[in-house]
Homo-oligomer: A and B are copies of this chain.
Amino acid sequence: MPAKRSYHHGELRAALIQASFDLLAESGLQRFSVAAVARRLAVSTAAPYRHFPDRAHLLGAVSTTAAHDLRAAIAEAAGAAGENPAERLAAVAGAYVRYVTRTGAGFHVIFAAELYQLHDEARREQTSALMTTLIDLATAAGRAYREAVPLVEATIAIGHGYASLYADGFFARKDATVDEIANRAVDAARTLISDWPRPGAPAGRRPA
C-alpha cells in the first residue's frame, strides 16, 4: 500500500460525490459548484475534471447515489411502519423529509432539469427503481391502480413541501427539529391517504 503522496489519489471520485452531498446539505443546489466541492477537499479546481467530464456528470453521479439511498431510506421506513399499507406509504413522506434535510438531495436534485439530457444508465436504473418502489407502495395502499401515480405525487409533494420550507428557514421557530417536521409530514400524508381519492367533503361527511 503506497503512501499517499498528495491527498486523494485513487479515491477522489468517491470523495467528490461525498463532498457534493455535504455541500448540498449545507448550502443547497443554488450554491453548488464544482469549484466549491474541490475547495472542500483541498484539491485544485481542475482535479474534479479528471473524474467527471463536466458539472452535469458530477451532479448525475450524485443523483444516482441519492436515488439509491433515498429508495433504501424509504424501504426501511416502510418496513418500520408495519403491515398497514396506508401507514407504510405515509412513512415515505417522513423518510423523504429526513433524507432531504440530511443530504440536500431531494427530487429537485435527483430529477434536476439540468440532468435531463444526461445519458447515464446507472442513474436511469436507480431513478427507475426508486419510482417503482414508490408506485408499489402506493398501489398497495391505493383504492385503484390508476390512482397510484397521483397518490405518489401527493405523498412526495407533502414531504417536499415540508423539507423545502424547512431548508429555507421557514420553521426557524426554535422548537422545530427535523423529526418533528418529518412527523408532521407523516401525519399529513396519513390523513390524505386515508381519504384518497375522495377527500372529505366541505361539510357533513365526517363528525365534527
Footprint of B on A, CB under 8 Å? 29-30, 82, 84, 86-87, 107-108, 111-113, 116, 149-150, 153-154, 156-162, 164-165, 168-171, 173, 184-185, 187-188, 190-192, 194-195, 199-200, 202-203, 206
Q: In the bound complex, do residue B191 and residue A191 qualify as a contact, i.e. CB atoms below 8 Å apart?
A: yes
Q: In the bound complex, do residue A185 and residue B168 qualify as a contact, i.e. CB atoms below 8 Å apart?
A: no
Q: A82 contacts which chain B residues (CB < 8 A)?
A: 202
Question: What's the least CB distance linking A76 to chain B, in Å?
Answer: 18
- Whole-angstrom CA separation of A117 from B185 in the bound complex: 30
| Copies assembled | 2
Q: A30 contacts which chain B residues (CB < 8 A)?
A: 29-30
Q: In the bound complex, do residue B154 and residue A157 qualify as a contact, i.e. CB atoms below 8 Å apart?
A: no
19 CB contacts below 8 A, A to B, read A29-B30, A82-B202, A86-B202, A107-B168, A107-B170, A108-B168, A153-B165, A153-B170, A154-B184, A156-B165, A156-B170, A157-B162, A158-B158, A160-B164, A161-B161, A161-B164, A191-B191, A191-B200, A194-B206
- Whole-angstrom CA separation of A108 from B170 in the bound complex: 9
Q: A194 contacts which chain B residues (CB < 8 A)?
A: 195, 199-200, 206
Q: A112 contacts which chain B residues (CB < 8 A)?
A: 168
Q: A171 contacts which chain B residues (CB < 8 A)?
A: 153
Q: A87 contacts which chain B residues (CB < 8 A)?
A: 202-203
Pick the 9 closest A-B CB pairs, nearest first.
Answer: A161-B161, A157-B161, A191-B199, A194-B200, A160-B161, A187-B199, A191-B195, A87-B202, A157-B162
Q: In the bound complex, do residue B156 and residue A157 qualify as a contact, i.e. CB atoms below 8 Å apart?
A: no
Q: A190 contacts which chain B residues (CB < 8 A)?
A: 199-200, 202
CB nearest to A190 among chain B residues: B199
Q: A29 contacts which chain B residues (CB < 8 A)?
A: 30
